[in-house]
Structure formats: C-alpha cells, structure tokens
Amino acid sequence: MREIILIKNEELLFAKDDSIFDDGQFRCLSIHNITNSVMNSITKSRIHSVITFGTDELPESFIGTLMTNFKLLKVLDFQNAPALNSLPEEVGNLLHLRYLSLRKTKVKVLPKSIGRLRYLLTLDLKESLVDELPIEINRLHKLRHLLASNRPYSQVVKIHEGFGCLKDLQKLNLVELANDHGKSLVKELIMLRQMRKLGIINLKKEEGKDMCIAVENMSHLQSLHVIATQNGILDLQHILSPPNSLQHLVLTGQLEKFPNWISKLQNLVTISLCDSSLTEDPLKSLQTLPNLLELVLNNAYDGKVLHFEEGGFQKLEQFQLYDMTKLISLKVDTGALPLLQAARIFKCWNLAEVSENIGNIVIF
C-alpha cells in the first residue's frame, strides 16, 4: 500500500511540508508545520494547490509568498488554520484560483480584491468569523458554491444586492439577505435556477411569496433550509409545484398552517420542523411520503396527541421529538412504522401515554 501511495504522489506531483522540491516539479503542497526549508523551497516551485492541516502558525511572509509568487494557484485551503486572522488584498492576484476555504479560521473580513477571482468556483466560509460579504462577490460569475454559516448559527453572513447575477450558483448556505436601503433581496433568488442547496436566515413574513416563487423555479433543488426572523412567521403556503428533486427540508419558524406542498415531495428523505406552533397533527400530511427516512419535530406542534396511523411512514427509520410540552399521548397503530429503528423523545414533560408497539424508544 505504501508503494502505491508513493507512486500516486509522484504521478500527482504531491509534496508535504518536509519535502525537498527545489527543482520546482511539485504542484501540490500539504503543510502541517511551516519551516524555513518549506519557506525557501516553495519560492522556487510552480505550486497549484496548497492545503494546511491544523497549522498553528502562518507567518505573514508565507502568506505574502503565496499571494505574490504563486500566480498559478488553483486550490487554497486554509481549513483548520486558527492562526489565520486576515486575508491580504494580494489574494486578488491569484487569477486562476478555483477553490478557497477559510473554514474554521479567524478571518473576519474578505478583501475587495476577491472580486478579481473570476474563475473561483467554491468559497467556503463555514465557521469563520466573516459576517458580511463585500459587494465585489457579485463579480464572481462562475461561482457555484458559497458556503457560509453552519450549526450552531452563531455567525450570520450577510449578502448584498446584486447577487442574482451569480446564475451558476448551486449552493448558497446559510446566508442572510441584507435589506439594502430597506429593499428586500429575496426576489433576486428567482434568478438562481441552478440551485441545489439553499439556506436562508431571517426570512420575513412579507418575503414569503417571493421565496415561494424562487423555490418553484429551482427545478434542481435538493436541500432547502429556511429560518424565520426571531419569533417570526414563515409564509410558505404559496408553492404549487415544488421541485421534485427536493430531498432535505428544514423549516424554522411559526407556520400558520402546514404547507400543503410538502405532502407532494415524493423524494423527500429528511424533514425537520422547528418552532412551527402547528395546531393540527402534521403526521397526517407526512405519513404517505414514500421515501421519508427521518423526521424531526422540535417545538413544532401544540396539540396533545400525535398519531402514527396504520399504513403510514412505511420507510421511516427514525424520528425525534423535542420540546413538545403540550403533548400527552403518542399513538402508533399496528402496521405503522414497520422499518423504525430508533425513536428519541426529549423534554416532552407531559407525555403520559406511549404505544407499546413503538419499538426502540429513548425518552429524556
């Protein structure tokens, strides 16, 4: 196996931080520790990819060398580099860059020069300290993946007017659409028809109709995550023909009623409803979904009884209930949930009746 790895290293021209590559033949560089030998060697190499692994120290001279000398860089991955707290303007010199990751770094601000990276396909900002995208992002017309906040949502990343021109975007997750001069930007989502994964934070009730129009136009959409403003209402009742490709759905916010279009999602695999405050049992609308494997209800239902009816949820493997404080009874008919593997119930303090045939259940 070692011999195969070494052969592949030679084929891919891959070097690690203690390699000697003065002849400039290597194209890929992985770095764990920055040493003087690395600093001296890389200035003579035509590196295309730089990947750091938990690097505790990134000298400014090293960053300057990357940005100034390595004009052929296509991949720049700083993930898990806590020492990185800024990105210099010189990053705009990397005109061939396709992939830039600042995940789990301390970078707070993206330089305006990032708008010069016209071939950039992926910008990964997850778990960084970036809270706002410069308007120059809108020049990156080839951008496909814009990855921002992740759980927990301690850092909300705002995107500004004009992003609708990024028509190749396939992943936009999770961002807040800033209200520039009081103008809602949700209408710009309508232009992003190639979207596969969409996550929006702080959606206002009055933006719901435009959000529905945008989702209907995203025929390739596989994952949708929408979070309302704090204690806000999600007005998502207006979708008539949802994307048939939708597999993962997360809705966080009050729903005045259960959106009927969800029951049409024949390929839905997972669904999570949080803070929905539904008054009618949502299981009635979900039980016939043919491919649903996972169901999460978090403070989603204000009723007293949840009922898994006979013949329902034929493929469901697990469900989780959280903070259903008014729930008293959980009923499961014979013939429901035939493939259930696990059921977890948390903080449903008043739950007094649970059907015996539910199988593997854990209650906290």
3-class DSSP string for the chain:
CHHHHHHHHHHHCEEECCCCCCCCCCCEEEECCCCHHHHHHHCCCCCCEEEECCCCCCCHHHHHHHHHHCCCCCEEECCCCCCCCCCCHHHHHCCCCCEEECCCCCCCCCCHHHHHCCCCCEEECCCCCCCECCHHHHHCCCCCEEECCCCCCCCCCEECCCHHHCCCCCEEEEEEECCECCECCHHHHHHCCCCCEEEEEEECHHHHHHHHHHHHHCCCCCEEEEEECCCCECCCCCCCCCCCCCCEEEEECECCCCCHHHHHCCCCCEEEEECCCECCCCHHHHCCCCCCCEEEEECCECCCEEEECCCCCCCCCEEEEECCCCCCEEEECCCCCCCCCEEEEECCCCCCEECHHHCCEEEC
What's the pTM? 0.89
- What number is the average pLDDT over the span 247-258? 97
Q: What integer pLDDT is reported at residue 111 of this predicted model?
A: 96
Across 27-31, 62-66, 67-71, 142-146, the highest mean pLDDT is recorded for 142-146
With a pLDDT cut of 90, the percent of the chain lying above it is 70
Q: What integer pLDDT is reported at residue 150 of this predicted model?
A: 59
Would the pLDDT of 17 be above 70? no
Q: What integer pLDDT is reported at residue 40 of this predicted model?
A: 61
For the record, the structure tokens of 198 come out as 């969409």
Q: Give the C-alpha separation, 156 to 42, whole Å.
A: 36
Which tens digit of pLDDT belongs to each residue from 208-248?
999 999 999 999 999 999 999 988 999 999 999 999 999 99
Would the pLDDT of 107 be above 70? yes
Q: Give the C-alpha separation, 31 to 332, whole Å.
A: 55
**Domain coordinates of the chain in residue numbers?**
269-364
Q: What integer pLDDT is reported at residue 14 of this predicted model?
A: 46
Would the pLDDT of 206 be above 80? yes
Q: What integer pLDDT is reported at residue 42 of this predicted model?
A: 60
CA dist 135 to 2, 128, 164, 165, 168, Å? 48, 19, 12, 12, 17
- What number is the average pLDDT over the span 193-209? 96
Which tens digit of pLDDT belongs to each residue from 266-307?
999 999 999 999 999 999 999 999 999 999 999 999 999 999
Q: Give the C-alpha separation, 107 to 319, whole Å.
A: 38
Q: Give the C-alpha separation, 172 to 192, whole Å.
A: 10
